Structure 1
Amino acid sequence: MTSLLGLSTYAYSWRMSDRVPDPMSLDDAMRDAASHDGVDLFQVCDHLPLDTASDERLAAIRTLADDLGLTLEVGTRGTHPDHLARYLHVAQQLGATLVRSMWTSGDDQPDATETERRLRTALPAYERAGVTLALETYEVVATTDLVAVVAAIDSDHLGICLDPANTVARLERPAEVVALTAPYVRNWHVKDAAFTRSPGWVGFQYTGVRTGTGLLDYAGVSAAIDPHTRGINRVVEFWLPWQDAAAGAGAEPDGDETAAQTTCRTEAEWTQHTIDHIRSKES
């Protein structure tokens, strides 16, 4: 099996946002992703236009991905069977074999019993289509509950999207989350994060940092889940703070750069740095 290295739309959060003067389109981000040596996958994650995109638009996205040599995955939130059916359709139109979702979506926060019922309703269509549904680890849901539901259903087409940075906000240690989920992981969101003291030493801020400088141990996670043997794709994303020097957010501005320019430049630099970091750990 092959583990592809990919970029997520979350690696382009600022460059695609309306906070910058000339935001990237989805097509722009895909072209940029393909320009990075070794990147073979693009995860269109929580990109709201996919909710209502026409089949013609989905076909155009797939054609562009094919032309660029990119495999696609898609991501959304929620477990309502109708919504999961929509994203199965999106995945099939894009040629994607994985849909990442989340247990909750906004005010829709079902308990474990309802979540299991919904998944059992939605999954047969995924199984027939050969598409895997991967539910992400995050702070709203205890990892033990997520694992329990996935284990109870016991489907080859249901698994977990591992993001051990998310559950720190639930006071779950990353290493423990990795150990709990390892048998069920089907997708891996690669990022790094760390705590810093808030101004005045009033509490902490938990934000993204350059990969390899924070709390997340790439090599340790990789050893635990064995992505190359199991065909678990690695998807790079960031929690890059807005680079406002006045707020002490991080990167030094270059000359007369605006905060938006500094943020976009830093996001691009983190992308290449993360790709290089991953290669250094696997060489």
Structure 2
Amino acid sequence: MTRVGSDISLARVGDLWGHGPALLDTLHAQGLEGINVRTLTDLSPTLDIGELEAFRQRADELDMYVEMGVGKINPYMTAELPEVRALGDGDFIAGMERMFAVCADMGWTTLWTACAGVKEYAAPYDTDRARREAPWPDQLRAIRTLVDKLLPALRHYDLALGIETHEEITTYELVRIVEDVDDPHIGICFDPANPIARGEDPRAALERIAPYLISTQLRDVHVLPSPDGEGLTRFLRPCGDGQLDWSEVLGTLLAARPGVNLTIEGVGGWSGRSDVPTGDPIWRSLHPDLSEDELTSLRALGAASMQAAADGREPSFADLDVFRPDMRAAHDDFVARSAAHLRSVLAVRAASVPTSIGAS
């Protein structure tokens, strides 16, 4: 059964939504049916069984799904995850394996991970992809090696690890990793907004990853020409408020993995702005798989947005490029609007596919 839920990063939102069972109560009161906790250590830094069992029990009582994040899998940035290394008494892999064991005990079998994170620098240095001291091909090889080292534990506990289509990695690269591993315990978590940061058409990206789909992190997008005229800019929007065709997106997702949970990655006050400097030779050199046809599709989205903004039918660049200080209200509105739209699309698909919705 597909359900609708939310992704929550407790490290980011602090006490805004509550902790432990109270967090589940908050989301359930908003009509959501599940949760992805971005990192297990956010829920309990020491993996206290009492705390985790209380969370599991409340999720069961509310009939909510739980998907769990277990940190990142790029050895070049594990220093940014000291909490995982601490769980293994200095051994990062042991820390990951300890989280796997706890998740298996709790019945949380769908796990989330990513290959790096967004940095507070201008593109192309806004992700680990552009690190000159650690070339991206070296990072990809290290990621692939770490996946091999984690695979025995994933098989032992029968867990599915979904690697997100995150801002730093292309879907071409993700598909190569998953196809090379060739094991059902390794797959892909699809976020339709992020491939745009790598110059990919979200429709084509979804078609590439669909055979390997494990989970979702859903939000919509607006693409506009960058103010400097040298590329594109992506903004994040609630599902249904942007440019994606959600009937098509959900149709592909549910055909690929019937019953997949629809987890919404909410945005607080942040606009989700990501600059895509397609005219920058450094940026282009970092994308050997870049498709001119897909760039043309993205430029068409940008042109359509610019015309719609000029006609007053859609928000302008200035309307989108804002920060809302009321993080809680902004996030809740984003998730509520997304959930309502996803459910409206699912309703049209009729009762032939039972569905549920959650958040991240």
**Aligned letter for 1:59?**
E
Cα contact 1:227–1:233 (8 A) shared by 2: no
Q: Residue by residue, what CA displacement relative to the aligned partner does 1:137-180 show, whole Å, maximum 9, x if unpaired?
A: 12212211111110111111111001120121111111111011
Residue 264 of structure 1 corresponds to 328
Give distance in 1, aligned partners of 2:96 and 2:190: 19
Cα contact 2:188–2:214 (8 A) shared by 1: yes
- Residues 90 and 56 (structure 1), Cα distance of their counterparts in 2 relative to 1, 3 Å cut: same
Q: Percent identity between the aligned chains?
A: 23
1:247-258 correspondence to structure 2 within 5 Å: none
1:102-121 correspondence to structure 2 within 5 Å: 102-104=114-116, 111-121=139-149
Gaps of 5+ in 1: 251-258
The reply to whether residue 44 of structure 1 matches residue 30 of structure 2 is no
Cα contact 2:117–2:168 (8 A) shared by 1: no
Q: Give the alignment's Cα RMSD to 1 decimal.
A: 3.3
Residue 178 of structure 2 corresponds to 150
1:21-32 correspondence to structure 2 within 5 Å: 23-27=16-20, 28-32=22-26
The reply to whether residue 137 of structure 1 matches residue 130 of structure 2 is no
Q: SS state of the match for residue 66, structure 1?
A: helix
- Residues 46 and 195 (structure 1), Cα distance of their counterparts in 2 relative to 1, 3 Å cut: farther
Give distance in 1, aligned partners of 2:11 and 2:236: 13
1:79-98 correspondence to structure 2 within 5 Å: 79=73, 81-98=93-110
Give distance in 2, aligned partners of 1:128 and 1:47: 19
**Aligned letter for 1:161?**
C
Residue 351 of structure 2 corresponds to none
Q: From 312, 321, 337, give the equivalent of 1:273.
A: 337
Give distance in 1, aligned partners of 2:183 and 2:255: 19
Cα contact 2:239–2:339 (8 A) shared by 1: no
Alpha-carbon shift at residue 56 of structure 1 (Å)? 2.2
Q: SS state of the match for residue 223, structure 1?
A: helix
**Aligned letter for 1:265?**
A
**Aligned letter for 1:279?**
R
Which segment drifts farther, 267-276 or 147-156? 267-276
Give distance in 2, aligned partners of 1:141 and 1:200: 25
Give distance in 2, aligned partners of 1:224 and 1:231: 12
Residue 5 of structure 1 corresponds to 4
Cα contact 2:148–2:181 (8 A) shared by 1: yes
**Aligned letter for 1:81?**
I
Q: From 242, 253, 263, give the equivalent of 1:225.
A: 253
Gaps of 5+ in 2: 74-91, 119-127, 129-133, 272-317, 348-360
Give distance in 2, aligned partners of 1:281 and 1:142: 28
Which segment drifts farther, 206-215 or 81-90? 81-90
For CA contacts below 8 A with separation 6 or more, give which structure has more relative contact order: 2
Cα contact 1:192–1:238 (8 A) shared by 2: no
Which segment drifts farther, 94-103 or 51-60? 51-60
- Residues 47 and 132 (structure 1), Cα distance of their counterparts in 2 relative to 1, 3 Å cut: closer
Cα contact 1:165–1:216 (8 A) shared by 2: no
The reply to whether residue 208 of structure 1 matches residue 207 of structure 2 is no
Cα contact 2:35–2:64 (8 A) shared by 1: yes
Cα contact 1:3–1:233 (8 A) shared by 2: yes
Cα contact 2:213–2:257 (8 A) shared by 1: no
- Residues 41 and 213 (structure 1), Cα distance of their counterparts in 2 relative to 1, 3 Å cut: same
Residue 192 of structure 1 corresponds to 220
Residue 210 of structure 2 corresponds to 182
Residue 50 of structure 2 corresponds to 56
Cα contact 1:3–1:227 (8 A) shared by 2: no
Cα contact 1:81–1:119 (8 A) shared by 2: no
1:122-133 correspondence to structure 2 within 5 Å: 122-133=150-161
Alpha-carbon shift at residue 275 of structure 1 (Å)? 1.6
Q: Residue by residue, what CA displacement relative to the aligned partner does 1:108-134 show, whole Å, maximum 9, x if unpaired?
A: 976333322221221122122121011
Alpha-carbon shift at residue 202 of structure 1 (Å)? 9.7
- Residues 208 and 48 (structure 1), Cα distance of their counterparts in 2 relative to 1, 3 Å cut: farther
**Aligned letter for 1:269?**
D
Q: Residue by residue, what CA displacement relative to the aligned partner does 1:45-75 show, whole Å, maximum 9, x if unpaired?
A: 1465245332222122212222322221111
Which segment drifts farther, 179-188 or 56-65? 56-65
Q: SS state of the match for residue 217, structure 2?
A: strand
